[in-house]
A and B are shown apart, each in its own frame.
Chain A
Amino acid sequence: MPHPLENLSGPGKPLKAEAPDAKEFAGLLRSGLARLKDAGNTTLALESRFDLAYNAAHSLSLAALRRLGYRAGNRYLVFQVLPHTLGLGPEVWRVLDKCHNTRNLGEYEGLLEVDERLVTDLIAATQAVLDALQAKTA
């Protein structure tokens, strides 16, 4: 049976095949690590911590997808394929998917509704992505 990622890639489909690139992977990992660390800085505004953690989650999830030789046409897709890239469950990827929608409402409609609960859970989900990614590459 073909890998689910393979089924999602090709003409007219959301993923496209692209060989992994070690430099790109290192850059995404570095950026994800730096932003996740800063997201924990409680002297920053909650909105800033949300942005940092969301972008860390995106970098790390994209790194996981690129590592397997794919690229996504949509930002949200890198979260939705986490069960296939890193074996992560709904307790991680659905949280990130929700944060993607929260981020879009903020960016495009000026309605950024973040609170301590969401930022705490976003950071925990992003940490889970980082741990799974590092376990794969260790």
Chain B
Amino acid sequence: MKQATQKKVAQFLAFLLLRVCLYLVLAVLLLFLFDIGKKGGGAISWEFLSQAPRKGMTAGGIFPAIFGTFLVTLITALLAVPLGMCAAIYLNEYARQDRLTRLIRLAIRNLSGVPSIVYGLFGVILFVNIMRFGTSVLSAGLTLGLMTLPWTITASEEALKTVPNSYREGALALGATKWQSIRTNVLPYAVPGMLTGTVLGLARAAGETAPILFTGAAFFLPYLPKSLGDQFMALPYHLYILATQHHQIEQVRPLAYGTALVLIALVLGLNMTAVVIRYRLRRKRR
């Protein structure tokens, strides 16, 4: 009898401890969001969102940084989304279980673990120097695109996996070629899922700083980039500068909070849209 109570008490305490772990994680997240929401909210105004920084970045807004992040993410998407989808189509539809396939999968998994600053170094050599794009929004976007590629491949493959095999077999049985069956019976069902998955990757890319540090992000620019060969301002880099590199750090703290809020709203907004859509898609399938 006594042993049984002891067992119960032990279980109660252990589960309590596990629960505390969970609450701790949730508390950290809430603390983050609360702090940035509260202190950043005060800085947000129409002027802040629509104007360029003024007076050595101690006043004015962050519009060039918002615009730059939008532009660079667009380039990232143009590179990473189609390539990611095509690679996923190969892996899920065409690939046999052979050595080449295993090699490709291994490469993808390892690419997603390569540090972002290493992608930055790669971008400096490949895009800035060898391809002579210079430090520009194009170089930065392509660098981020390569970094995003493993994520978009994985996400697209997950979406392809959810299409039942019978769809493919039905088309093939009617005499369709492999590509016809993919085009008519697989892709229409997989593309929405592929897109939501890739949005998650793009959101992550939009918030990255290290890969764009040396490939095109600028400290301050009085004008917006006019071509793909121009440098650009980006939200994450702007936050880094306001938080650590500015000569009047205390004075610009509210602006830094405001920038952080805009960045986090952008990234989490994209994230949540994707998560909600994916959740709905999954439910529909059940």
Question: Do A and B interact with each other, yes or no?
Answer: no
Residues of B within 8 A of A (CB): none
